[in-house]
Amino acid sequence: MKISIIGTGYVGLVSGTCFAEFGLDVTCIDKDKEKINDLKKGIIPIFEPGLESLVKKNLDEKRINFETNIRKGIKDSQAIFIAVGTPTRRGDGHADLSFVYKVAEEIAKSLNHYSVIVNKSTVPIGTGKKVYEIIKSNNKNLSFDVASNPEFLREGSAINDFMRPDRVVIGCESEKAKKILKELYRPLFLLETPILFTKRETAELIKYAANSFLATKITFINEIADLCEKVGANVSDVATGMGLDGRIGKKFLHPGPGYGGSCFPKDTIALVKTAQDYKADLGLVQHVVKSNINRKKNIFKRVKIACSNKLKDKTVTILGLTFKPNTDDMRDSASLDLIPALLKEGSSVNLFDPEGMEEAKKYFIKNNKIFWFKDSYSAMKGSDALVILTEWNQFRALNLQKVKTLLNNPILVDLRNIYDPKEVIDFGFSYFSIGRPTSLFK
């Protein structure tokens, strides 16, 4: 079976590569000529564990190829996936679907045989219907179907998530489309992966609802962590006690500086806007959005308090810049709130991230108070405080004695709770974490 993927961003490249690994003939299409030329050489534009080697493997075995021309790229394809960006639209918070609609127009002008057009991008309810209307209006005699097949990939573990998913959701309106998409996912049928066929609108809503629920869970434990600090409770124990309840589960009960990335922030906002359009009340998700925005702004206050409210002319080291480990994605990362706030206060910042340095530099104009380092310990030397912002594995086992000798002041602000408070305090640090009052460990 031949399929095409339009868009070689995170979703498109991972999906196309994994479909090729299933044994399908895959063409990935993108207008960015430089990116396509690199991909043809096996050079990928993002960091995702295992992806580069899988791209090279399928290039060598001629199951995947890359193309800039849509007409050539979709020739003979039985399924055409739209995997372009749907960022938050400036001004009103709705998802910006201009890229999706533009691709739909180009498909209509280029396609001359039956195919299933599949929305892989995260899109609001009703987008599939609109895509159908756009294609039909531009090519009245074309036989085609439009389906929704939302992705549930986690950055940092996307290959495994695609190959061994919890479920596959497909929204389609015809038996012909269903038959093609079942064949597409046949390797997962053999693994007894649950595959849920629904209406298009239902599939579109499932993705938004799932992401908004996970964002709600993160926000809930963050607010509980704040309460723990007030009443002298330990949020780690609270989360464990909650997570042992099978109805709740332990995942996404880890307090921190707030959620970020390419999905949760924009999807929660888009769901709220969709609800408002249909005059439905989603007050809970509205609160989640507001609470998370405030949390990322307020992490600066935590650092300032840890430094006795004296940040002017001080140097703060930040370890971890990406929104989570095992990715180079900086979108909506807490570092994008913390670093400007520190600079505004008159601090200098020493920065290190194992994979996100090049992406991070795109977000910050040259500043004589921003310093970039190649490893953790170099970044700490002569610093007045150390902040752990992203829980990369290499930050979990720092030599605390060495850290203490490198810092001007032994101040450690652990915004991911990756250290044992008692151990750090016993080393002589002033230690600050989330939802675990220092008084509990003295």
Cite the active site residues: 263
The string of DSSP codes covering 338-360 is HHHHHHHTT-EEEEE-TTTHHHH
- Nearest CA-CA partner of 145 in 154, 155, 157, 136: 136
> In this structure, which amino acid lies at residue 94?
H
Pairing of strands 430-432, 411-414: parallel
Q: How far apart are CA 268 and CA 270, in angstroms?
A: 5
134-167 b/e (C-beta count within 10 Å ≥ 16 → b): bbeeebeeeebbbbbbbbbbebbebbebbbebee
Using CB atoms within 10 Å of the CB of residue 26, give its burial: 0 to 12 exposed, 13 to 18 middle, 19+ buried: buried
Q: How far apart are CA 377 and CA 354, in angstroms?
A: 12
Q: How far apart are CA 309 and CA 315, in angstroms?
A: 13
Pairing of strands 2-6, 25-29: parallel
- Residue 38 tokens read as 């690199």
| Dihedral pair phi/psi, residue 3, rounded to 5° | -135, 160
Q: How far apart are CA 354 and CA 356, in angstroms?
A: 6
The 8-class DSSP code of residue 409 comes to S
Inter-residue contact 342 to 349 (CB < 8 Å) = yes
Q: How far apart are CA 263 and CA 253, in angstroms?
A: 18
The owner of tokens 């499932």 is 206
The owner of tokens 């609108």 is 201
Report the half-sphere exposure of 251 (CA within 13 A, side-chain side). Answer: 4
Residues 6+ apart with CB under 8 A from 359: 322, 328, 329, 330
